[in-house]
Structure 1
C-alpha cells in the first residue's frame, strides 16, 4: 500500500519545494553569470543559462501543483491533475530552447577564435559549489516528488541530477584549461553542456507525450496489481479489457470481470464494491474505478484493453 497525503499537505510540500528550488537556483545563476562575465568563460555562462531555466521550472511546478489540487468540476470532470503533465511538457520546450541557445553561442565562439579565461580558479570554485548545491536540490526535490507523486517535481529533480554532471563537466574542462592553457577547451565544454541539456529536454518531451496519450511506462505495477487482487477472489474469473490512465498524480482504472451468471445484481454490486475498495487501499492515488460485470465464458470481440496474458507479456513477466 502506498503512503498517502492530503491535498493540503501536498500543496504545502510542493510550495516549499518550489521556493527552495527558486532561491537555490537564483543564487547559483547570479554567481555563474557574474564569474562568467568577469572570467570570459562561456562554459560557466552556459551552465548559468541552464540554471536559469531551473528557476522557471520551479515557478511552473509551483503553479502546476496549485492547479492540480483543484477538485473536479463540470468543465473538468476528471479533475485538474493533468496540469502537471502539461507543465512538464512546457518545461521540456524551455530546456530544449536553452540547449539551442548554448549550442549556438558555443559554436560561434569556437569559430570566431577563443579568448583566454581570466581567473580560472574562480570558475573552478563556482563549478564545485554548483555540483554540491545541485546534488542537495536533486535529493530534496526527488524526495518531495515521490512523496506527493508529482511527475513535474520528479522531472525537475532529474533535471537537477543532470545539472550535477553539467557543472562537473565545466569543472573538469576548466581544470584541463588551468593546467594546459588550451584555448578552445572552454567552447568544447559549452557544446558538451548543450548536448546534455538537449538530452534532458528530449527525454522530458517524450515521457510527457507518452503520458498525455495514456501510455505511461510506470503503469505496469498497477496493471499487475489488478490481476493479483482479482486472483484472490474465487467468484471472479478472467479480468480483461483492463485500462489504466495516469492523470498527473492520480490514476483512473476500468476493466471487465466475469462472474457466475446466476449472481443477482445486488451480489455483483457488493462484490465490485469490495474489489474497488481493496484496489484503492493498495494505491490511494487511484481516483476512480469502473468495473464492468459479465457472465462466465462471455465471448466478445474486444478491441481495447489488456488481459492477464498481454499484461505478463507487455511487462516481461513469465
Structure 2
C-alpha cells in the first residue's frame, strides 16, 4: 500500500515537473522575445515550481515508509510538515503576485506592447496547468494525500498567474494596460486563501487536533452499538497524513472473563476499521467501571499483596493452591473474591462463615463467592 501510494505520487509529480520545465523555457524565451515582463516573471515562477515538485517527491517517499521501532505510528508527519512548507510557498507566491500587481498599477508609462505569441504561450500554460490540476487532484483524492492536493492547487495557482498575464496582454492591446494588475490582485488573494486553508489544517494535524464534533459523535455512536459494549469514554482521535488514529476506553460487564473482554476490544477495532475507511489504527482499553474522572480502585492492594493477606487469614481453612487460583474482582473501590474448591469442602457447613470473617478486618473485601467442582 505504501509503495503504491508513493509510486502514484511520484508518477503524477514527475509529469508536473516536465510541464514546469517546458513552460519555464517557453515563458522565459518568449517573454524576452515578445516584450512581456509578466510572461518572463511567470517563467521564473514555473522554474521555481521544480523545487516544489522535488519537495513533494522526497516528502512522499519518506512519509510512506512503513512504521518501525523508532516511528511506531509511521512517518506520515513528514507529509504533513511538507504540506505546511508548500502552503508557505503558495503564500509567498500570492504575496509576490499582489506586490508586483501594485507596482504595475503605480507605474506611469508602459514602454512596450506584448506580441501575439505571448498570449498563445499564456493560454497554453493555462491549459497545461488546468490539466495537471484536475489530474493531480484526482490522484490526491484516491490516495487521500493532502500534500498532493496542495500540489494540485499549486498547479491551479500557476494557471491563475498565466490568466493574469493573458489579461494583461489583451488589456494592453485594447488600451487597458492595468487590467492584468487588477486581475492579479484578485488571483493573489485567492491563492492566499488556499494557502491558509491547507497550512492551517496541516498545523492542526501536527499538534494532534481531534476530529470535529460531528465525526467524533458518529464514531461514538457506532462503538456503542457493538455487542458487549456498555458505554465508552475518553475517545481520542488524531490525523496523520490522511489516516485517523483512535484511542478509546470501552466499558464492559465486570463479570465476564478477561478473554471475552479482549474479544470485545478486538471487535471494536475490527468493525471501526471496516466501517470507517480513514481509520487505520485503533487502541482499545477495556474497563469494568467508569474511571474517567476518578479511579475507585487506586488504593486497593494488588494480587500479590492480597494473596499474602488471604494466606494469613485462611492458612488453616484452605489449601494454598485455592488462594493462588482465586479470582479477584475490583469494582467500586471494593474487592469481591471468587474461590474454586473441590467438592469435599462443601461438607464443611461453616466454611463460608469462617472465610467471610476476613471482611471484619479487611473492609475493602465486600463478598466471597465459593464454587465447588468435582
Q: CA deviation at 1:185?
A: 3.1
Select the structure that is richer in helix.
1
CA offsets, 1:31-60, max 9 Å, x none? 223333333334334443443443222211
Q: Is the 8 A contact 1:130 1:164 kept in 2?
A: yes
Q: Which moved more, 1:238-247 or 1:132-141?
A: 238-247
Instruction: Provide the rounded CA distance (Å) in 1 between the counterparts of 2:145 and 2:268.
Output: 26
Whether 2:87 is the aligned partner of 1:92: answer yes
Whether 2:202 is the aligned partner of 1:204: answer no
Q: Which of 37, 47, 51 is residue 46 of structure 2 equivalent to? A: 51
Which residue in the other structure is 1:267 paired with?
260
Q: Which of 224, 230, 237 is residue 244 of structure 1 equivalent to? A: 237
Instruction: Provide the rounded CA distance (Å) in 1 between the counterparts of 2:200 and 2:270.
Output: 34
The verdict on how the C-alpha distance between 1:101 and 1:172 changes in structure 2, with shifts beyond 3 A counting, is closer
Instruction: Provide the rounded CA distance (Å) in 2 between the counterparts of 1:47 and 1:231.
Output: 56
Which residue in the other structure is 2:353 paired with?
none
Q: CA deviation at 1:92?
A: 1.7
Q: Is the 8 A contact 1:29 1:52 kept in 2?
A: yes
Q: Which has the larger radius of gyration?
A: 2
Q: Which of 127, 131, 150 is residue 132 of structure 1 equivalent to? A: 127
Whether 2:144 is the aligned partner of 1:152: answer no
The verdict on how the C-alpha distance between 1:17 and 1:267 changes in structure 2, with shifts beyond 3 A counting, is same
Whether 2:272 is the aligned partner of 1:279: answer yes
Instruction: Provide the rounded CA distance (Å) in 2 between the counterparts of 1:128 and 1:86.
Output: 34
TM-score of the pair, normalised by structure 2: 0.70
Aligned residue pairs, count: 294
The verdict on how the C-alpha distance between 1:299 and 1:7 changes in structure 2, with shifts beyond 3 A counting, is closer
* Structure with the larger RCO, 1 or 2 (CA within 8 Å, 6+ apart): 1
Which residue in the other structure is 2:175 paired with?
181
Which residue in the other structure is 1:257 paired with?
250
SS at structure 2 position matched to 1:158 = helix
Q: Give me the CA root mean square deviation.
A: 2.7
Instruction: Provide the rounded CA distance (Å) in 2 between the counterparts of 1:24 and 1:52.
Output: 10
Q: Is the 8 A contact 1:141 1:153 kept in 2?
A: yes
Instruction: Provide the rounded CA distance (Å) in 2 between the counterparts of 1:193 and 1:300.
Output: 50
For structure 1, the residue ranges without an aligned partner over 5 or more in a row are 1-5, 303-318
TM-score of the pair, normalised by structure 1: 0.81
For structure 2, the residue ranges without an aligned partner over 5 or more in a row are 295-374
Q: CA deviation at 1:249?
A: 3.3
Which residue in the other structure is 1:312 paired with?
none
